[in-house]
Amino acid sequence: MAQEFGVSETRKLDLPVLAVRGDVDIATKDALQSSLDAMVEAPDRVLVVDLSEVTFIDSTGLGVLVTTLTRCREAGKDLHLVTESPRVLQLLSITGLDETFSVVGSLEEIAGT
C-alpha cells in the first residue's frame, strides 16, 4: 500500500527542512509547490528538501523541484536534496538532475557536522 503524501516543515541543525513523504505526482504537486514557495520566501539562505520518505516521484514532481531550484538561485539561495532512496537517486541520475541539484545522503553533510 502506498504511503500517504505529506509534507512537514522543521528546523534541524539550524537549517529549514521540508520533509516530504509518499508519492510526489500530479495529484500532490500543488501541495508540494505551496510548501516550497513558502520556504523560498523565508529569509533562510540554505533550504533542504528531505526526500528520504518519498516512495514515488514523477516528471511533475521533478518539475516542481526544478522550478524551486531556479527560484532559489535567482534569490541567491542554496537548495539541497537529502535522500538515500535508490529509486529517487536512480531517477535523478537517469534525468541528469543529480548533476543539477546538490544531492546528499544526510543533513549532517550539509551542516558540516
pTM, two decimal places: 0.94
Give dist(CA 7, CA 16) in Å, integer. Answer: 13
- HSE-up of residue 89 (Cα within 13 Å, Cβ side): 9
Look at residue 112 in the predicted model and tell me its pLDDT. 74
| One-letter identity of residue 54 | V
Q: Look up residue 6 and give its three cell numbers.
A: 505529506
**Domains of the chain in sequence order:** 6-111 (3.30.750.24)
pLDDT in tens, 15-56: 999 999 999 999 999 999 999 999 999 999 999 999 999 999
Give dist(CA 13, CA 50) in Å, integer. Answer: 13
Give dist(CA 51, CA 90) in Å, integer. Answer: 13
First and final CA of the chain: distance in angstroms? 36
